[in-house]
Amino acid sequence: MKRSLFGFLLVWISSLAWAQSPFTLTALKSYTPVVAIDAGNIDKSIKSEILEEMEAVSKEIGIDTKSDTSRAFAFDIRRISIGELIAIKVDLMVSENLQHPKSNEPLFVLSYLDTQIFVPEDFEEDLMDTADEMLATFALQYKEDNDEMLKSKSLPKEGSFAAKMQYETDYKKALVQAKKEQKFLMVVMGTNYCPWCRKLESRVLSKEDIDKDIKAQFVPLMLNFSEKNFPSYLNDIAITPVIYIIDPLSEKIQHTFVGYNNHESFLQLLRELTHPAQNNTLPKAAQ
């Protein structure tokens, strides 16, 4: 077992960093598994065991490990010092060596990274447990990213999600409704093939607690950035997803949230917005 509280806190901190990871795995089809261990004298068989686990997980999710490729799926395992303690830092990464298209300078491209740190009691057992956990996390994200991408390719636009969640898709109609209900507009801007837009929909906006908070305070409107069927003042940010909170009377943007936020982070944003008297962040809609 890993050393109780200290090891748990380190793993917990690294898992928080992963929760906000910007990496997506939708274009990953092949790689070469690699294990590098710089942690003193250990049983050499553990490297083979980890490689076997990497091969098994790759086979399960359908990634080719046999083709000649410059892309590596690698565990980098090393000892580090934390004060007087000796800990183990484990990085699981997908990396690739490329050349700059103009200068031909070598480029090192990192397309996935997960890190865990623990203080071992039984080095080999703890290391195998950590490797298994990290491989399971990788496989889960790969499945989710690719399942969502396949689903999104079958949809010509975000209309199916908007219809399911009862979001308006017409700016002018939403504006009229927001004025009538004396609510602000919440504009969710996405594109058809944006993986983070699909994650926002499936992991955040579709959750009952978040949907309830949104509809209590806002008129939700989903727009497709590619279609440009909206006022020009919503055209400034090309990154998706992006969410705007808009006063329907002045049509001025009150708040802007760019990128993907996980469930808890998004819920906290909503709570700040829906308690203006306490947080002083959301002005009252004009009467």
Q: Of 173, 175, 185, 170, which is closest to residue 220 (Cα–Cα)?
A: 185
Tokens linked to 140: 């889960």
Q: What is the pLDDT of residue 219?
A: 96
Q: What is the pLDDT of residue 202?
A: 81
| Higher-confidence position of 22 and 171 | 171
pLDDT at 19 over 50: no
Share of the chain above pLDDT 90, in %: 40
Q: What is the pLDDT of residue 22?
A: 53
Q: What is the pLDDT of residue 104?
A: 64
Task: Quote the CATH superfamily of domain 159-279.
Answer: Glutaredoxin (3.40.30.10)
| Higher-confidence position of 235 and 107 | 235
Tokens linked to 165: 């969640």
Q: Out of 111-120, 147-156, 180-189, which region has the weakest mean confidence (pLDDT)?
A: 147-156
Q: Of 244, 272, 246, which is closest to residue 258 (Cα–Cα)?
A: 244
Average pLDDT over residues 15-23: 45
